[in-house]
């Protein structure tokens, strides 16, 4: 592992495990021996250095982000599905209690933020909230724990928190964005939606181009702000954890324990903010003027 200096250590920890396509003729530099090999033809492989991961461009997957986010999603759905199957209207057990508290919490968010009628919004919000919460909560696992295990298994890079990867947060916010567009068109009609973009905030035909620019920027800001807010918070927190991990081991607990306790609040809050804003945006998409 190329993690001898603090800078290398930090960079190493911020690099995802990338599986992508390298073009033919690409010169690969072995991070340990500095031997150079040339790709005979384009092919899919794991990136061994950050430079390789960057050079893979768009045709690459962050295996760790996808793996952990899917794992967390399945964990969420399994737990909730098990409870849902055995859900009783009598006295609920501990697990059902917890699930119902979450559901009620999300119902409150939706009731306060969403003013239309759509049975999909509440479960959508539940999925977002719990999934993001679970992904964020991976951050409370010490930064070297799972990467070390992965390293022992031969994986050079491993970043377990999917929400510290912009792909992870943008993936969700783009899903929300598509739903915003979909419901805007579904509720207002294509014409109605177009009219809304063209005639607000200034209701005059001469200002249509101006309105369009303004509204489209406003529209695009929604997924951008959702994704960047979550990513920024999680990434910054992760960097601080990594910085603390550079310190001598006997002093780390004085910093990372308070930081982790603080992050119990942050991960919940960020999941809550993401969910609430997504619900509000979808509510706006349902409002017909």
Chain residues binding another protein by CB under 8 A are 14, 16, 18, 20, 53-54, 56-62, 65-66, 69-70, 73, 76-77, 80-81, 83-85, 87-90, 92, 96, 99-100, 103-104, 107, 119-120, 122-124, 126-127, 131, 162, 165-168, 170-172, 174-175, 178
In angstroms, the CA 108 to CA 120 distance is 15
Nearer to another protein, 29 or 174 (CB): 174
Distances (CA, A) of 35 to 11, 14, 46: 21, 24, 17
Least Å from the CB of residue 276 to another protein: 17
**Does the CA dihedral 204-207-208-210 come out positive or negative?**
negative
Q: Which are the catalytic amino acids?
A: 225, 229, 233
Q: Give the phi and the psi of residue 21 in degrees, each rounded to 5.
A: -105, 125
Nearer to another protein, 106 or 260 (CB): 106
Least Å from the CB of residue 283 to another protein: 17
Least Å from the CB of residue 256 to another protein: 23
Give 232's strand partners: none
Radius of gyration over alpha carbons of the chain, in Å? Answer: 23
Nearer to another protein, 142 or 171 (CB): 171
- What DSSP line would sit under 162-227, residue for residue? GGGSHHHHHHHHHHHHHHHHHHHHHHHHHHHHHHHHHHSS---GGGHHHHHHHHHHHHHHHHHHHH
Nearer to another protein, 119 or 191 (CB): 119
């Amino acid at each position: 592992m190329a993690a001898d200096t603090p800078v290398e250590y930090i960079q190493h920890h911020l690099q995802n495990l990338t599986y992508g396509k390298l073009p033919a003729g690409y010169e690969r530099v072995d991070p340990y021996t500095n031997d150079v090999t040339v790709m005979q033809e384009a092919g899919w492989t794991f990136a061994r250095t950050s430079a390789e991961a960057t050079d893979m461009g768009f045709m690459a997957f962050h295996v760790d982000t996808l793996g952990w986010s899917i794992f967390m999603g399945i964990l969420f759905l399994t737990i909730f599905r098990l409870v849902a199957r055995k859900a009783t209207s009598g006295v609920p057990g501990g697990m059902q209690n917890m699930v119902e508290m979450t559901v009620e919490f999300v119902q409150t968010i939706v009731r306060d933020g969403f003013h239309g009628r759509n049975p999909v919004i509440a479960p959508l919000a539940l999925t977002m909230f719990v999934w993001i919460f679970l992904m964020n909560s991976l951050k409370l696992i010490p930064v070297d724990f799972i990467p070390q295990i992965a390293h022992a298994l031969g994986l050079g890079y491993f970043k377990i928190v999917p929400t510290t990867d912009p792909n992870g947060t943008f993936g969700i916010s783009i899903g929300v964005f598509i739903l915003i567009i979909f419901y805007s068109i579904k509720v207002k009609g294509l014409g109605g939606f177009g009219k809304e973009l063209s005639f607000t905030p200034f209701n005059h035909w001469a200002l249509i181009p101006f309105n369009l620019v303004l509204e489209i920027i406003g529209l695009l800001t929604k997924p951008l702000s959702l994704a960047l807010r979550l990513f920024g918070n999680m990434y910054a927190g992760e960097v601080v954890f990594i910085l603390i991990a550079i310190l001598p081991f006997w002093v780390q607990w004085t910093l990372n324990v308070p930081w982790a306790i603080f992050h119990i609040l942050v991960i919940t809050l960020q999941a809550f903010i993401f969910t609430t804003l997504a619900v509000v945006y979808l509510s706006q998409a349902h409002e017909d003027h």
